[in-house]
Structure 1
Amino acid sequence: MMSNKTATVADRLTTAAKAKQQMLERFRARPKADDPEMLAKQAERMAIAEARDARNAERRAAKEAEAERLAAEKAAEAERRRIQAAEEAAAAEEAAKHAAALPALQKAARDARYAARQARRR
């Protein structure tokens, strides 16, 4: 290709006209929209797009199912922890009741021994 510095205005105009003519010829040479080959390519593209959409829908459904499963697991774990905490609280309450009642039981046992000893002396 010639350099613009050496080309004249007429040469540049001729080159531009040739380029436009080549672009026009390429445009006219392309297949029409109702060409069977173009219709086949369009159908193939549509089939590929539909398959891609189906795969995306399957992935989305799998992700939603996984999210639901994880949510169910978290809920079950939370319920298990709640039950365990309730059992521990009940056990602690029972231990506290026993600890509170222990001095009274010990006093009653001591009083019973004292009474038995006094009864033996009499």
Structure 2
Amino acid sequence: MKNARNNELADRRMASADAKTALLSAYRSAKTAAEPTSLARQGERIAVAAAREERRLERERVKLAESERLVTEAAEQLEAVAAKARAETEAREKNRIAHVIEDEAARKAERDRRYANRKARQA
């Protein structure tokens, strides 16, 4: 015999309400008992999240510094290439001028030689 007594509806409702009250009070007492540890866990989670955010910001700063360094290096290399090109252009120009001067001097020397030969034949 499971239920020896003859429970009325009111008795069953009262027992159910008492059980719910007992469960609620047990939950509240467990919650207040666990509050310091939950606050500590929450503080730890906040600290971990702050540390994670700081590491992320540091990684971003490192990436930004690296990209700025690469841009600076690229600009320096570009400037070096441009300076080398200017130097080569100037050297070619000086070389061309030197050749023009040499050719002009050779042409004048040949003209003077022909003039001297003509004068020598006439004399």
**Which interval holds the TM-score relative to the shorter structure?**
0.5 to 0.7
- Give the alignment's Cα RMSD to 1 decimal: 2.8
Q: Which residue of 1 aligns with 2:80?
A: 87
Q: Which residue of 2 aligns with 1:55?
A: 48
**Correspondence 1:31 to 2:19:** no
Deviations 1:53-103 (A, max 9, x none): 110100000000010001000001100101111111111122222233332
**Correspondence 1:77 to 2:73:** no
Name the one with the larger helix percent. Answer: 2
Residues 54, 19 of structure 1: CA spacing in aligned structure 2 closer, same or farther, 3 A cutoff? Answer: farther
Task: Quote the sequence identity (%).
Answer: 16
Instruction: Give distance in 1, aligned partners of 2:81 and 2:110.
Output: 42
**Correspondence 1:45 to 2:42:** no
Q: Secondary structure at the match of 2:45?
A: helix
- Give the aligned length: 104
In the superposition, the TM-score normalised over structure 2's length comes to 0.67
Amino acid at match of 1:31: A
Q: Which residue of 2 aligns with 1:107?
A: 100
Query: Max radius of gyration: which structure?
Result: 2
In the superposition, the TM-score normalised over structure 1's length comes to 0.67
